Chain A
Amino acid sequence: MKNRALAIPHIVWALVFIVIPICFVLYFAFTDDSGAFTLMWVGQIGKYWGVFARSLKLALIATVICLLVGYPMAYIISRCNWLTQRTLTMLIMLPMWMNFLLRTYAWMTLLERNGIINNFLESIGLISEPLKMINTEGAVVIGMVYNFLPFMILPLYNIMVKIDNSLIEAAQDLGCSFPSVLRRVLFPLSVPGIINGITMVFVPAASTFVISQKLGGAKNMLIGDLIDTYFMGGEPNFHVGSMLSLVLMLIILICMAFMNQDDEEVML
């Protein structure tokens, strides 16, 4: 097969920028400062289980919200005519053209104690004291949903656009009201898109550090922040940082394995 040659650029890329770095991470995670093999860093992980739990919890909440918001949206877009579909998907991708950091800063100015939302609510007399919004878990979830929602909508839209309208009509024809069409036809057929969307939102949300740093404050540290501190902080420790990364990777891999197992069952 001559065509295999075309894959060489990517293989080289993957080797240099994916496989070799992972080897470095593995090396640091299982060696001490002198370079000798050790398991001592595994023991260090235990004290951070709270941070892991918070990361997974917030990522999960954000994913569920994205799904609830994104699913109807994706369905509506997929039933529009072609031109409207193009316009709407572009509008959904539009925020992504703006720098990620900038978008998060924008949320800071919105949610701050003297931010736009608090000022507005005070000026119309709805509240007398500013609400505490920034530096809460809620703020982190909002940041996650805002930044990752397009990654939920697009895979859902991609799968729904392939569901022929006649299937929906056939279900109605056979006695289904709309909720029943959703449950018996739309949902089962869009499972691959749901799984894709969840993956695309959950993984970056679980490992983010910018959103939690800017919107969550020191109290709501996520696993991403922790890794960031161990590599870039005042007292760097590559060994603990690498071990944390490995554990996060492992957790995400396990989650994905579960999802894909479901996926195969549905597709068969």
Chain B
Amino acid sequence: MGSVPIIELKDVVFEYDGERVLDGINLSIRDKEFVTFLGPSGCGKTTTLRIIGGFMNAKSGEVYFDGKECSSVPPHKRNINTVFQKYALFPHLNVFENVAFGLKVKKMPNDEIKKRVSKMLELVNLKGFDKRKVNQLSGGQQQRVAIARALVNYPKVLLLDEPLGALDLKLRKEMQLELKKIQQSLDITFIYVTHDQEEALTMSDTVVVMKDGVIQQIGTPQDIYNEPKNAFVADFIGESNIIDAIMVKDFLVRFQGCDFTCVDKGFAPMQPVDVVIRPEDIKLSPAIMGMKTGIVESVVFKGVHYEISVDCDGYHYIVHSTAKQEVGDRVGLSVDPADIHIMQRLFADDKNTVYGEVTGENTVEFCGFSFERENLSLPEGTRVQLTIYPQDIEVVSEDIADSKAYLESLVYKGKHNELIVWMAERQWLIHSQIDEQVATDIGIKFDFDKIEITPVLTDEEVADSEK
């Protein structure tokens, strides 16, 4: 693998209709690498690909191709080819003409075109399909034509925008391996966009996990799977048990009221963190031998393993095990210290801390909300610090809500869902049993009676504590 980046993005920002789709993308892709952009729909992965292809222009930031700034270079002058999501084959041309399209545009001599096209059709297993109409081909065959049409131009970089999305599972698996083989045999850079984590892990040298226009993690498939950087990545890449925890000190983490040894360090003492345990890393044993015990709630046969849900003091763990358990049995759970992954919280604190002001007798205002509190006995104009616990904000239907909020992320934490919403210019942490669609607006309601109020003295103190 070359060490010179073939493509480099620096602080790329893209906005559409006033909404920020990409928010400062920094990325460097090495020559001959297979890179995958992975993320849920709307995370900005396709936009990033289209900016590299030249179909969209970033609002700010720089795009380098082979060391040269290329933001203003139109797509037809870039040495990059694309396999489009729905193939975008030309319906008025047959298979041969489709594949030959790029070479004909370049006015290559006919016999040379013939040689290259038939070589390429052979590579994608479509020998003898030259004269077929493209709409007479199956999805998988159309897919191959699209790949051949792009590769025949010998691009330095091939962009693939969810190319396998329309294929059925079996065909998709075959094509995944085939694509990887093609990439290795031709020795060119592939940039692949998908929302399918398995696809990303199977094919890539490097995976770029994205969410809300921000890169969450860049790493090898092994890194991403074994050492996810935060709960979003862990949740998105395969099934995980994610639990709120506190890092007592280096190599010691506390969750569910017990301290466990782990292999992570570098967090502040008593810092709130997330613990991630993969379902296959939890070992079930007879009750007396486990680190914790729990009751088997459900057992589902999944072919290779059983998916077992265990209730452990109110926390629901998902365990993958090849040994069958009976519902209702008490079992022991153990996990190796190396399999306890500690991650930064998506929301740094475990409660919401906001500032407000006493605006009248027994009335407090914060972030555009106001509420009454009996016997407040604070003079008007006093600045106050409000502590709002995540369980004291309720998700309700919008007509009875105090406010509308934008749901940024939702992660199941064993006991409740952890919601992070955007409202009144800041993030809020909510614990709720409700499942909502991420990237939509939800209604929220405060339990004003449970808000803790502490007076603060000066603005400097506010500034200090907000740091």
Binding site for B on A (CB under 8 A): 164, 166-167, 169-177, 180, 184-185, 188-189, 266
Contacts and interface: CB of A to CB of B under 8 A. Distances in A.
A21 B65 CA distance: 71
Given A170-B90, A174-B105, A176-B105, 18 more contacts: A164-B86, A166-B85, A167-B88, A170-B149, A172-B55, A172-B76, A173-B81, A173-B150, A174-B81, A174-B102, A174-B150, A174-B153, A175-B105, A175-B106, A180-B76, A180-B105, A188-B92, A189-B91
Nearest to A187: B92
Contacts of A189: 90-92
A236 B433 CA distance: 89
Interface residues of B, number: 23
A173 B76 contact: yes
Say what secondary structure dominates the interface of chain A: helix
A184 B106 CA distance: 13
A170 B88 contact: yes
Contacts of B42: none
Contact of B105 (A166, A169, A184, A266): A184
Given A175-B105, A175-B153, A266-B92, A170 B76 contact: no
B95 to A, nearest CB: 15
A175 B153 CA distance: 10
Contacts of B86: 164, 166
Contacts of A166: 84-86, 88
Interface string B61-105: 000000000000011100011101110111110000000011001
A169 B74 CA distance: 11
B88 A184 contact: no
Contacts of B75: 169, 172-173
Nearest to A166: B88
B88 A172 contact: no
B101 A171 contact: yes
29 contacts: A164-B88, A166-B85, A166-B88, A167-B88, A169-B55, A169-B75, A170-B89, A170-B149, A171-B101, A172-B74, A172-B75, A173-B75, A173-B76, A173-B80, A173-B82, A173-B150, A174-B81, A174-B101, A174-B153, A175-B76, A175-B102, A175-B153, A176-B105, A177-B74, A180-B76, A180-B105, A185-B90, A188-B92, A189-B90
A42 B298 CA distance: 93
B53 interface: yes
